[in-house]
Amino acid sequence: MQDLDQYTVTDATLAQMAQTPNPRLREIMDAAVRHLHAFAREVSLTPAEWLAGMKFLTAVGHACTPFRQEFILLSDVLGLSSLVNAMHDARAGEDGTQTSLLGPFYREAAPSHALGESIAGLSSGEEMVLFGNVLDAAGRGVPHASVQVWQTNAEGLYDLQLHEPEQMDMRGCFACDGSGAYHFRTIRPRGYMIPMDGPVGGLVQAQRRHGYRPAHIHFLIGAPGHRELVTALYLADDAHIDSDTVFGVSQALVVRPSLDLAGSPRPDLASIRYDFRLSRTADGGSGRVGADPSKILEPAP
């Protein structure tokens, strides 16, 4: 018979799990239990606080639907999604463009556009042009790389928040030319609040955080033999550029549209030049942290 106290219960739990045949499951659960127990001891967790935590997690689960993933939002506001992205980048073996959150508004099968076309079909606002190259880690263009783009409109809303799902806007797929160059037109996106009407929003409010993401344009870039890149470009002059609620911004991803930009295919428009760098396929893992909510319940391909 074991004589358990607040310290030995950790070892007893680890001992029971020690036969786990899958070594990675064992490693992950071992560390999870050690850190969870250390956390409870550090804050001297009371039964009432434990119950409040259970109720909170239950509410997070109840807020999930086929179209909403509140657990991923929780991971986002706790900085976990960005941490996982940063470790994914560190494993690449080659320096590529930094990963940034996929977010809940990515959709597969966005409309294909020819280079130079605009992704703003139903929306209007300040027109901009984005251009540059998709490069490999050695700086060579990646011919015909695919570039998927999605963003909010000038009011800070995604198409999914405005229209029926069949009606897509402010998103599109482009194929780079044979030298890896891309350009497309869009309108200036506006920053927005993450979904605040659920338990995660309640937590963010209780922490006196503003809940905003600075204005950004999402990218998902791929080419055979290269690691898929999930990233975003953030507009420098947004009031929340230094306090993104989900920690997606880093300096290398901050851009400032400018007129008369050298090399712009449309120097008359506010232009952004950005070259993306893909690393070679190293660990084969996907950089998608976040998900198309409508895909979450579908079996993996």
Nearest approach in angstroms of CB 27 to ligand BEZ is: 28
Cβ–Cβ under 8 Å, residues 110 and 170:
no
Q: Tokens 């160059």 — which residue?
A: 181
- 245, 101 Cβ separation under 8 angstroms: no
The alpha helices in the chain, defined as continuous H runs, are 8-17, 23-43, 47-63, 70-77, 80-90, 199-206
- How many residues line the site for Fe ion (CB under 5 A)? 1
Q: Scan for tokens 């996106």, then name that residue.
A: 189
Beta carbon nearer to Fe ion, 135 or 168: 168
- Sites for Fe ion among residues 84-143 (CB under 5 A): 103
Q: From the list ligand BEZ, Fe ion, none, which binds 113 (C-beta under 5 to 8 Å, kind-based)?
A: none
For the bound state, the minimum distance from the C-beta of residue 234 to Fe ion, rounded and expressed in Å, comes to 10
Q: Which is nearer to ligand BEZ, 103 or 257 (CB)?
A: 103
The least CB distance from residue 29 to ligand BEZ, in Å, is 27
Q: Residue of minimal CB distance from ligand BEZ?
A: 103
- The interface partner of residue 104, options being ligand BEZ, Fe ion, none and the CB cut-off 5 to 8 Å by kind, is ligand BEZ
Binds 246: which of ligand BEZ, Fe ion, none (CB < 5-8 Å by kind): ligand BEZ
Distance of CA 204 to the CA centre of its chain: 18
Residue 194 binds which of Fe ion, ligand BEZ, none (CB < 5-8 A, kind-dependent)? ligand BEZ
Residues at the interface with ligand BEZ (CB under 6 A): 73, 76, 101, 103-105, 194, 213, 246, 290
Residue from 222, 217, 220, 218 nearest 144 by CA? 222
**CB of 202: closest distance to ligand BEZ in angstroms?**
15
Q: Which is nearer to ligand BEZ, 36 or 83 (CB)?
A: 83
Interatomic CA distance for residues 234 and 275, integer angstroms: 14
Nearer to Fe ion, 103 or 293 (CB): 103
When CB distances are held under 5 to 8 angstroms depending on the partner's kind, the choice from Fe ion, ligand BEZ, none that residue 233 binds is: none
Q: How far is the CB of 262 from ligand BEZ (least distance, A)?
A: 30
What is the Cα–Cα distance from 266 to 262, expressed in whole angstroms? 10
Is 99 or 133 the residue whose CB approaches ligand BEZ more closely? 99
* Range 54-79 burial, b when 16+ CB lie within 10 A, else e: eeeeeebeebbeeebbbebbbbbbee
Which residue number is nearest to Fe ion in terms of Cβ? Answer: 103
37 versus 190: smaller Cβ distance to Fe ion: 190
Q: 3-class SS at 11?
A: helix
Query: How far apart, in whole angstroms, are the C-alpha atoms of residue 211 and residue 203?
Result: 10
Place of tokens 């033999």: 225
E strand residue ranges, the chain:
127-136, 146-151, 171-175, 181-187, 192-193, 212-213, 216-222, 229-235, 254-255, 270-273, 276-278
CB of 256 to Fe ion, least distance (A): 19
CB of 230 to Fe ion, least distance (A): 12
* Residue ranges that bind Fe ion, judged by CB under 5 A: 103
